[in-house]
Structure 1
Amino acid sequence: MRRRIARPGALTAALVAILVPAVHGATPPAGAADPVVAVTDHGLVRGTVTGARRDFSGIPYAAPPIGDRRWTAPVPPRPWTGVRGAAEPGPACAQLELPPYAASGSEDCLYLNVTTPRRAAGRGLPVMVWFHGGGFSSGAGGDTRATGLAARGDVMVVTVNYRLGVFGFLAHPALDGGTADRRSGNFGLEDQQAALRWVRGNAAAFGGDPHNVTIFGQWSGGKAVCLQMAAPRAAGLFERAITMSNPCLLHTVPNADGTPDPTPLGMPRPRAEAEGQGLALARDVGCADPGTAASCLRSRPVALLLDRAPALEYTPVYGGGGVLPVDPLKAFEAGDIARVPLMVGINRDAYRTSDAFLEEFGSAPLTEEGYRRRLRAFAGADGAGKVLNRYPLKDYGGVPSLAWSAAATDALLARPMLDTVRLLSPRLRVYAYEFADENAPWYTDVAKPSFPTGSFQDSELQYLFDTRYFRGRVLAPAQRRLSEQMIGYWTRFARTGDPNRPGLPPWPLGDAASDRAQVLAPGPAGVHPADLAQAHHYRFWLSVRY
């Protein structure tokens, strides 16, 4: 249901004039003793108190991007009168169903959710701002609830909706607006920056420190963290960064058959390619005339645009000015990024998710010959033999999907993570990790595949959040202990820029000399440092062309 926001009246203007200075200052506003009501710079919100935490959900941080505001930069929302209910998340941004993500037809979706410990007023808590995953095409901030992360970690957590797919990342010359910092193609990233500006202005109203902000995200949300580190307009909006399952130098995602993908799904696109895609879409929906393309596209129904714009193909855009003026990889290589402490990690069995979803969508289990074909497509005839010798089926119980996952995870995630650590460690503090629970619970609404899923992509989320994707799943005692340790590490890093704290196993600082990272697994010795270059055959993959 679309949320209706009343026009501001004299009462709202007076309240904002009186209360906003208190929101920005160190002194909590009058009435802050009521833990259910907070004073934002656009009006009062009433959340809920449950056990050890407070939740404020569905708070607008930007005006609805509907009608003439479709494909424009976000602007602040209108103030409202009275006390706005904040008990439920706002609608997810428009997207098709892509399991485990649900479909949505809403463009009125620029809402965020705040979770804090029950007693937070005036405390100056570290703020953690979460960008959800979903390939820049799916997901919502409300899918992950920070119940334990906020209460047990003693932090303020903000989860954010941002425009997705064609609505978040359509590049078309008619939508550029005429100025370099408003080039089309990155509306979703601009939404994230607007949410960060909202945090700067409003964190204190919820007990947070607006000058101690950590951005973090997983998969495409992790890529968004890297992109914001390289985005000039995001400078100064955060003090620390955590990218999960998407190292900042990751740039290759193969097709399902292993062949190189010249336009890898989920990766940023050069502007010329993105504009060509946008012009083709405009022709497809009857908006080819350059003089009327903008108004024509804005008149097209949500369902039509979602149907004609393939999921996972509309992603952030770089080059030609705009939010990402240069290729983010080149920005990282040149050191032209935010110099903030960084935590970066992968899941040991990440690519098992890929074959699991191929089976979910109807493909037969990978065969031995299919494994060999995939290796030839991925590494060429010469490289395939080398990879097969390094990853023989007998080492993986004769299960082709396990052998492929090991090879793909090492080549496509572990190598770029170690590349990221090696590149950045001379310039800033970097802490690397590997999530490695081989018995992590599987999704609730996705059938289990024909092979063990291990520490699959997304599995770490349930150790930090209560998530819709894993509802009803219960962690075993050793897994709950790992969850507590991970919450301790993540929130300590948000507090100080260093995950180490008393009571937790020491976590080494990343550097090129040792390639050490923290392994995160359940059990008495499950959390420990290890040489990930050796464990993931890093030097071998430097010798293979793919």
Structure 2
Amino acid sequence: MGSYAGLAGECQGYTRAGQAGSEACRGYSEDCLNLNVYAPSSSSTTATSSGTGSSPQRPHAKRAVMVWIHGGCFVSGSAAGYNGTQLAKTHGVVVVVIQYRLGVFGFLGGEELRERDPEGSTGNWGLLDNVAALKWVHSNIAAFGGDPDNVMIFGESSGAGSVSQLLGIEAAWPYFHKAVMESGTAAFWTYLPLENAQQSYTAVLASTGCASALDKVDCLLGAGSNGFTSAVTSVPCRDGCTWAPTIDGVLIPDKTLSLGQQGYLRPNTPMISGFNLNDGAMFVPGYPAVLKTMSAAGLQTYFSDRFGEERVAELSTTFPVPGAWPGSADLSPYCYSAQQCETDFSYACTALWLTAAEAAGQATYVYLFSEPTTGDLALHGDEIKYVFGTLKEPSASQTAVSEAMMTYWTNFAKTGNPNDDGGAAGSSSRRAPPLEWPVWDAKSAAVLNITSSPIVRSVPVASYVGCPFFQQHWAFYSGCLPPPGRAVEKMAV
């Protein structure tokens, strides 16, 4: 599989070589719209990997289908990094790992682009690629033993953001039936307001020499790809993604959270949303050195630069520094507070809020992944290898956690209930989940803490650490904060 990366030092918009793990850059191209299929053999003992061009003999049983959308802040990543063999072979499902256009090729947005779309969208081609992949799965997955009427989409980080967006895109609704969002549910960085996307569009016009063209879009179509990919490397929104889906009022009518709260997301869709204990640690400025070195002054600077000097005192109370630090050796007590704040802002609160909005009338589940994986921490993305069963030299406890997550995820794909496979194909080789995972509702507020000693906690949204603070100020913070180096505008206290 090739991949596209739009980050400095990661081919800067080039496609990579065809083999997974290769760092060779092979020139600019949008020729990345392919996918991998992992399907059990008819005996359920082996799995096969295929591109879009091959169709193995159809097994007798229809199997649940799990379609993975990779992360990478909408600018990097590829299908090559995810192997669905273990899920398919040991849990009796069909796994599809898709690719989609990224960066400028996937998410260039501007008013003048509407004329190129019959529906009047500004672009969002990366999401339209997701929809096209789901249509392909619907039409072809039966040839691999998959059930086109039992499809679960799941993804992590911006992949979870893509899943969030697909919940609001009606064109995608016929092609999936369940959704799992890992560390990116309805997050503020999974979209760009049109005015901010327009800024990047204007920069691309300038870099390609099309700013003064009579037909700017036609000029862009004839411009060299080098001008496209090198035009925008800055992030328009504070700690957002350089490129992201544009809220254009057509394909994406509004923020995912707003759509959910208004009842406009896909109806009757069982959902799992979750986040990792230390999701935000990697996004505290100065990572990774700051994990161990952050001081009291550094924490105050983080609060001030990130959320405005008017909020430092309130945030210091909301995220207090532990007195006698019993925690991780990989975190200073000051960075513990900072990363907890960042985790709540970027991952935890939107997961809880969207769950609360969607809980009425459909099954919704929430998890917290806290198994120590990167040293003492459970960082952003650490759960992925547990879900896919691809940990290298795992400990006994990590093996148990991986088996539990594979079971929960595949059960959910089969039945919409992570505790029950419904007697589906391939279940004879599986173990039962280690703990019953309750449906979330406003009364129980049940969150499954996924670790080697799993527990279910009651986590009312209104009292979860930083969520009351962020809910109070969400209209401001969920917009487009100034990028680093520019002060956050003062707000009335």
State the TM-score, normalized to the length of structure 2: 0.78
Aligned mate of 2:323, from 372, 394, 399: 394
Change (3 A) 1:513 1:379: farther
Alignment of 1:397-476 (within 5 A): 398-437=332-371, 439-440=372-373, 442=374, 454-465=377-388, 473-476=392-395
1:426 CA displacement: 1.1
The answer to whether 1:203 aligns with 2:132 is no
Amino acid at match of 1:492: N
- Match of residue 165 from structure 1: 103
Higher relative contact order by CA 8 Å / sep ≥ 6: 1 or 2? Answer: 2
Alignment of 1:297-336 (within 5 A): 297-310=220-233, 312-321=241-250, 323-336=251-264
Amino acid at match of 2:233: P
Change (3 A) 1:516 1:395: farther
SS in 2 for 1:235: helix
- Match of residue 95 from structure 1: 6
1:454 CA displacement: 0.4
Identity of aligned pairs, percent?
A: 28
Counterpart CA distance in 2 for 1:317 and 1:411 is: 21
The answer to whether 1:372 aligns with 2:291 is no
- Match of residue 287 from structure 1: 210
Alignment of 1:137-156 (within 5 A): 137-156=75-94
Structure with larger Rg: 1
How many residues align? The count is 422
Gaps of 5+ in 2: 11-20, 45-58, 235-240, 421-431, 478-493
Q: Contact 1:95/1:103 (CA < 8 Å) preserved in 2?
A: no
Counterpart CA distance in 2 for 1:463 and 1:433 is: 14
Counterpart CA distance in 2 for 1:150 and 1:457 is: 25
Aligned mate of 1:228, from 166, 187, 210: 166
User: Which moves more between the two structures, 405-414 or 105-114?
Assistant: 405-414
Counterpart CA distance in 2 for 1:318 and 1:419 is: 20
Aligned mate of 2:457, from 517, 523, 530: 530
- Match of residue 513 from structure 1: 443
Change (3 A) 1:539 1:294: closer
User: Which moves more between the two structures, 199-208 or 270-279?
Assistant: 270-279
- Match of residue 154 from structure 2: 216
- Match of residue 260 from structure 1: none
The answer to whether 1:237 aligns with 2:172 is no
- Match of residue 51 from structure 2: none
- Match of residue 219 from structure 2: 296
Gaps of 5+ in 1: 1-88, 252-265, 443-451
1:174 CA displacement: 4.3
SS in 2 for 1:230: coil
Counterpart CA distance in 2 for 1:97 and 1:494 is: 37
- Match of residue 487 from structure 2: none
Counterpart CA distance in 2 for 1:364 and 1:238 is: 43
1:379 CA displacement: 4.6
Amino acid at match of 2:336: L
RMSD: 2.8
The answer to whether 1:116 aligns with 2:35 is no
State the TM-score, normalized to the length of structure 1: 0.71
Amino acid at match of 1:293: K
Counterpart CA distance in 2 for 1:216 and 1:317 is: 21
Q: Contact 2:69/2:159 (CA < 8 Å) preserved in 1?
A: yes
Counterpart CA distance in 2 for 1:520 and 1:363 is: 23
Amino acid at match of 1:124: K
1:416 CA displacement: 1.9
SS in 2 for 1:313: coil
Aligned mate of 1:347, from 263, 266, 276: 276
Counterpart CA distance in 2 for 1:309 and 1:351 is: 25
User: Which moves more between the two structures, 121-130 or 186-195?
Assistant: 121-130
SS in 2 for 1:494: helix
Deviation string 1:221-272 (CA, Å, 9 cap, x unpaired) is 0010010000121121101000110122x32xxxxxxxxxxxxxx4312334
